[in-house]
Amino acid sequence: AQKVTQAQTEISVVEKEDVTLDCVYETRDTTYYLFWYKQPPSGELVFLIRRNSFDEQNEISGRYSWNFQKSTSSFNFTITASQVVDSAVYFCALITNTGNQFYFGTGTSLTVIP
């Protein structure tokens, strides 16, 4: 069975602080894909990144970076120099190569205080 755990329910940071959102996943498949989505107050989920299980290279995109570690089954997301516009709920999701459905975590609500 597949499972995604986001243990942090809510995080508050002051603007310009760095923040890391944790994601731990479970799967027995050897080929799988991990995603991060952002859900702002408007409600529409916005794709941030996709990573396959064979690519453990960390990725940086502007102020966003992702740390994928298969040894700990984690795919953590760091926002550097947070901004008020980063306030949203962030979801980590897993899909396996043999399945057709996403498994989402319960999300982490991030509030960036000006």
Partner 1 sequence: DTGVSQNPRHKITKRGQNVTFRCDPISEHNRLYWYRQTLGQGPEFLTYFQNEAQLEKSRLLSDRFSAERPKGSFSTLEIQRTEQGDSAMYLCASSLGGGPTGEQYFGPGTRLTVT
Q: What is the binding site for partner 1 (CB under 8 A)?
A: 4, 33, 35, 37, 42-47, 50, 52, 91, 93, 95, 97, 99-107
- Token readout for 70 is 């298969």
Shorter beta-carbon distance to partner 1: residue 12 or 101:
101
Nearer to partner 1, 9 or 18 (CB): 9
Six-digit token pair at 20? 């890391």
Minimum distance between the CB of residue 42 and partner 1, rounded to whole angstroms? Answer: 7
Q: In this structure, are residues 13 and 110 in contact, taking their beta carbons and an 8 Å threshold?
A: yes
DSSP H or E segment with residue 89: strand 88-96
Report d(CA 90, CA 64) in Å as an integer.
13
What is the nearest approach in angstroms of partner 1 to the Cβ of residue 8?
13
Min dist. Cβ of residue 77 to partner 1 (A): 15
